[in-house]
Amino acid sequence: MANPFKSIAANIDREAWLRFFLALAGLALAFATAVFSAAASEAGNVMATVIFASSALLLSGVVGVLSVPYLFRRVVAARVRVALDYEVTKEGTAYLIVILVIGVAALNTANNLLFIVVAAMLSAIVFSGFASAHNLRRLELDVAIPHNAFAERPIRVRVSLENPRAWIPCFSVTVQPPADGKGKKRRWEWHKTRFTFPKRQQWFELPDYTLRRKLLQPPPPKILTTPVYFAFVPAGYTITAPVELVFPRRGQYSQEGFRVSTRFPFSFLIKSRRVELERELVVYPAMVAPDALLEILPLITGEYLSFVRGRGSELYRIREYAPDDMARHVDWKATAKTGSLKVREYTREDERRLRIVFDNPEPGRVSPEAYERAVSLAASLACHFAQENVDLSFAGSNYTGGQRLDDFLSHLALIQPLPSEWVLESMPVSTDFNVILTSRTPGSIPNPIWECSYVVYM
């Protein structure tokens, strides 16, 4: 059986208790020197008074610098911040101005009735704050999003708000993203250091913290950018609101939390509460327009079928009889209709393999618009051929995935022009038909790849 005293001792924060007792000892010593300073002052000893008073002040300052900030950081500051997270609305500002005018009139006229009116109006603001805080109490939020989506195509997101309270409903609740600054910003951050006194002799050493500024990179785009409003959530019920979202660009979208706020009951204050709820979404490249895809798809399909034609079970075409054709491939129905020998030609099922290659260019080689069009075309071709009877594979610079379509689309969702040592010549030799999207000039593609491929230039 485990010893309970050992588990309690293991959970004790020794550093915090050490700081606490050192602070008590320092304050007790400062209090004693202050008492001696008062006694020396009454005795008329000026020098002793100055020494004791200076020592008391110095000890208090050392305790304040070394212990108070550390102990203050260990207080549950999040609860204090949540309790005071209020914003004054425009209506509340106008209401405060009216209170100020009535208060000035009450002071000038000494009218007790005006003082009562001012007190009642101020109590309405206090009641509004308590009511809004109670309105958000114990609410639970859930946001259900898909794992992936396509850019410029709408997806459905479900925002659910649960009120687990037994008999108290909630009113006028808004779910929205937290208010974060845009762009790069600097914030202060605590770093662990060691405090030594004095620095050269190092008589004693204690763990300490140093406040440093940290440059933050812009966060990734948020998933939910529009507020979702719930007018009424009954007690013990969960209300779900479907939200349609459209993402303009491919990439990684993430959100670390949401903000639940309310103006209930008088709209004087906005009470907010942050809900820690991490969500991530990979947005695949946008699909190209059907007209643009139809311009290039028949050319790729024709080249591909010409490459894979042979003997198999899937009909490729019916053509004129040649002397080297086998008699069993003669199509007698087509021969009877046309009056000349016709032969069926089949595709080779064992070689119906197609590989999509995205040759990622270096930065500045192509325009951003042409690059995005090439990425969208690669994703569109991959989705199209994934629905056909084709053994599909993928290749490209910095691509380490396999033959799964989702892996290749995720790669295209996050890809950026980067210098890479990968070249087309390094592709493994195979009998696959390659659809290559590249920024190279027509004469710079290797002959072995050119002979069994269709090249799309960015």
Q: Where are the domains of the chain?
A: 14-75, 140-180+219-281, 290-311+348-457, 317-346
Give 295 or 132, the one with higher predicted confidence: 132
**Token digits of residue 112:** 């007790």
Position 95 pLDDT exceeds 70? yes
Return all residues near 229 (Cβ < 8 A) that are at least 6 apart: 172, 173, 174, 175, 241
User: Across the chain, what does the average pLDDT equal?
Assistant: 78
415 three-state secondary structure: coil
**Cβ distance 132 to 85 under 8 Å?**
no
- pLDDT-derived band at 311 (thresholds 50, 70, 90) equals very low
Average pLDDT over residues 208-233: 78
Three-state SS annotation for 347-404: ECHHHCEEEEEECCCCCCCCCHHHHHHHHHHHHHHHHHHHCCCCEEEEEECCCCCCCC
- pLDDT-derived band at 347 (thresholds 50, 70, 90) equals low
Residue % of the chain over a pLDDT of 70: 73
How many CB atoms lie under 10 A from the CB of residue 86?
17
Residue for token pair 């995205």? 358
The DSSP symbol for 110 reads: T
418 three-state secondary structure: coil
What is the total residue count of the chain?
458
Position 173 pLDDT exceeds 90? yes
Residue for token pair 């850019």? 151
Predicted pLDDT of residue 429? 63
What is the Cα–Cα distance from 458 to 444, expressed in whole angstroms?
Answer: 14
What is the Cα–Cα distance from 141 to 230, expressed in whole angstroms?
Answer: 12
Predicted pLDDT of residue 318? 74
**Cβ distance 393 to 415 under 8 Å?**
no
**Phi and psi at residue 309, to the nearest 5°:** -65, 145
Nearest to 438 by CA among 457, 412, 410: 457
pTM of the model: 0.64
DSSP secondary structure string for all residues of 97-133: HHHHHHHHHHHHHT-HHHHHHHHHHHHHHHHHHHHHH
How many CB atoms lie under 10 A from the CB of residue 334?
15
**Cβ distance 283 to 148 under 8 Å?**
yes
Give 319 or 10, the one with higher predicted confidence: 319
Q: How many helices (H) and strands (E) does the chain have?
A: 12, 18
The 10s digit of each residue's pLDDT in 58-83 is: 887 777 777 766 666 655 554 555 55
Residue for token pair 């309405």? 124
Position 411 pLDDT exceeds 60? yes
CA atoms within 13 A on the CB side of 157: 23
Return all residues near 381 (Cβ < 8 A) that are at least 6 apart: 297, 300, 356, 435
Predicted pLDDT of residue 232? 92
Give 348 or 149, the one with higher predicted confidence: 149
**Cβ distance 250 to 284 under 8 Å?**
yes
**Cβ distance 351 to 328 under 8 Å?**
no
What is the Cα–Cα distance from 456 to 374, expressed in whole angstroms?
Answer: 9
- Cis upstream peptide for 198 (omega within 30°): yes
Beta bridge mates, 233 = 170
**Phi and psi at residue 83, to the nearest 5°:** -65, -30
The b-or-e profile of 380-396 (16+ CB within 10 A means b, else e) is: bbbebbeeeeeebbbbb
- CATH fold of 140-180+219-281: Immunoglobulin-like (2.60.40)
Please report which helix (H) or strand (E) contains residue 38, including its range.
helix 14-43
